[in-house]
Structure 1
Amino acid sequence: MADPFGRALADFHHDEQDEPLVQRDGEWAREHPVEAFYFGTFDETNQRSKFIESWVDGPVLDMGAGVGRDARYFQDRVETVAIETSDALVETMRERGVEDARRGDMFALRESFGRDRFRSAYAWGTQLGLAGSMDGLREFLGDLAFVTTPDATATLDCYDPERVEDGEMLGYRADPTPGLAYRVMHFEYEGTVGETLLFRLFGPDRLREAAADTDWRVAEVEHTNEVHYLAALEKAG
């Protein structure tokens, strides 16, 4: 399967990225900020980092770890497992010093890990939307509950569709249902077009609704700007 996203990040790591990684939805296209988004350091002083660190305990699972920016920080403090679906990204993480980087899918956790494997987990990059539907979100949360301990926590970041202005977000598709929307886009790199990505955007109330049908409850929600929010979950029991 074509992997323009993973190849672009791997090329940047090797100082071989000569063309931009492009996000596209029809005629709307923009360069994806590879260095700024993935190759910085874990900044303990910013809102996002302080939020995630306050909920992390080990062992921790980094779901959709990119090139391992956060995993490299946490592995010096607790046992950290970083998963990615891209072979190129897994190899890049290993080259960058991530000690336990594996190929794995956050939407197929039971295939990779046993019950109660982790004390905490996080998914940063809004990839939670790839759950695709409310049922998909419930299934993901159920699987995450299976691979985490009874006292586990999880942190997620999401877009709040009720705060998105029309034309503000690349790929945005409105939905008449309160608290829900879609996002459709793909990546292009060096003439290679990636698969079309369909994200379901869940507002905080929809996340709470889905969690209520699982072992989780939403313990904290914090907006970082008009459209983006952070959510912390803990086991409801």
Structure 2
Amino acid sequence: MKDLMGRAIWDFYHNENPEDLQTETSISELDELPVEYLFRDFEEMNKIEQKALKLAKGKVLDIGAGAGSHSLYLQNEKNLDVTALDISPKAIEVCKLRGIKNAVAENMLSFPGENYDTILLLMNGTGIFQSLNVIDIYLKKLHSLLNKNGQILIDSTDILYMYDEDEDGGYFIPAEGYYGELDYVVHYKGESENPIKWLYLDFNTLQNAAENNGFKTEMVLQDEDSYLAKLTKR
């Protein structure tokens, strides 16, 4: 893994000629992602992120922490015990440099962890599940990391709107697989990562998968096609 996202975060933090990231998916064209967006504060976050951070309590695991903006808010403003977890070593180094006390570079599936009162998966948190074929593996791992009365706060977007619509209001979607399963590619400074699998889930599909793995699912907030869900143990 070239860790281009981590390199961009590192370059921005150290002011080493950072450039915007570029991202694309199997159904969308190249899009600019300003690296400074990953360093935004609470006031610059969207409604879903703000709601999730307000609901976070107890001992927190922030999965896919990136530059650590969510973790920093919870640690510094809410005085919570937070662990920032990300697969990118460079991103985790920046988390530490920004003052996050507990920051770990590890794949979620191999993270030994403890048990947490709140687990956060934000900025399309369902993306980490990759595809419906392996979602059970991730949900079982999350179940094992969650305290009995804990909560998972996770967001996603129903991307059906991105597909072409016919005259009758139906959508032209792939016959094979689930329409939210995409290939996702990151570009930075002329280099490209290999495509990774990235999963966008509509709420009903998330709810069904979660309930098959011992969770109750609640819609906390909806903002157009995006939503925040809360998973708790049954």
Partner of 2:98: 96
Partner of 1:68: 68
Query: How far 1:185 sits from its partner (Å)?
Result: 2.5
Contact 1:175 1:182 in 2 (8 A): no
Query: How far 1:177 sits from its partner (Å)?
Result: 7.7
Partner of 1:53: 53
CA distance 1:45–1:13, change in 2 (3 Å): closer
Percentage of identical aligned residues = 24
Query: How far 1:127 sits from its partner (Å)?
Result: 4.1
Contact 1:160 1:179 in 2 (8 A): no
Partner of 1:234: 232
CA distance 1:25–1:216, change in 2 (3 Å): closer
Cα offsets for 1:82-119 (capped at 9, x unmatched)? 0011111010111111111111222x05x4224xx111
Query: How far 1:204 sits from its partner (Å)?
Result: 0.5
Q: Secondary structure at the match of 2:200?
A: strand
Query: How far 1:50 sits from its partner (Å)?
Result: 3.8
Partner of 1:28: 29
Query: How far 1:128 sits from its partner (Å)?
Result: 2.0
Structure 2 unaligned spans of 5+: 166-171
Partner of 1:170: none
Query: How far 1:152 sits from its partner (Å)?
Result: 0.8
Query: How far 1:180 sits from its partner (Å)?
Result: 4.0
CA distance 1:131–1:4, change in 2 (3 Å): same
- TM (norm. structure 1) is 0.85
Partner of 1:219: 218
Letter matched to residue 185 of structure 2: H
Cα offsets for 1:166-220 (capped at 9, x unmatched)? 49xxxxx944489742222211112221121221222100001101111211122
CA distance 1:49–1:199, change in 2 (3 Å): closer
Cα offsets for 1:9-38 (capped at 9, x unmatched)? 1101111234332113589322212212x1
Tell me the distance in 1 between the aligned counterparts of 2:187 and 2:177. Answer: 32
Number of residue pairs the alignment of both structures matches: 225
Tell me the distance in 2 between the aligned counterparts of 1:221 and 1:174. Answer: 28
CA distance 1:176–1:200, change in 2 (3 Å): farther
Partner of 1:198: 197
Partner of 1:159: 157
Contact 2:25 2:184 in 1 (8 A): yes
Contact 1:179 1:202 in 2 (8 A): no
Partner of 1:132: 130
Query: How far 1:155 sits from its partner (Å)?
Result: 0.7
Structure 1 unaligned spans of 5+: 168-172
Q: Secondary structure at the match of 2:180?
A: strand
Tell me the distance in 2 between the aligned counterparts of 1:95 and 1:41. Answer: 16
Query: How far 1:55 sits from its partner (Å)?
Result: 3.0
Letter matched to residue 16 of structure 2: E
CA distance 1:129–1:235, change in 2 (3 Å): same
Letter matched to residue 216 of structure 1: F
Tell me the distance in 2 between the aligned counterparts of 1:45 and 1:182. Answer: 26
CA distance 1:43–1:177, change in 2 (3 Å): farther
- TM (norm. structure 2) is 0.86
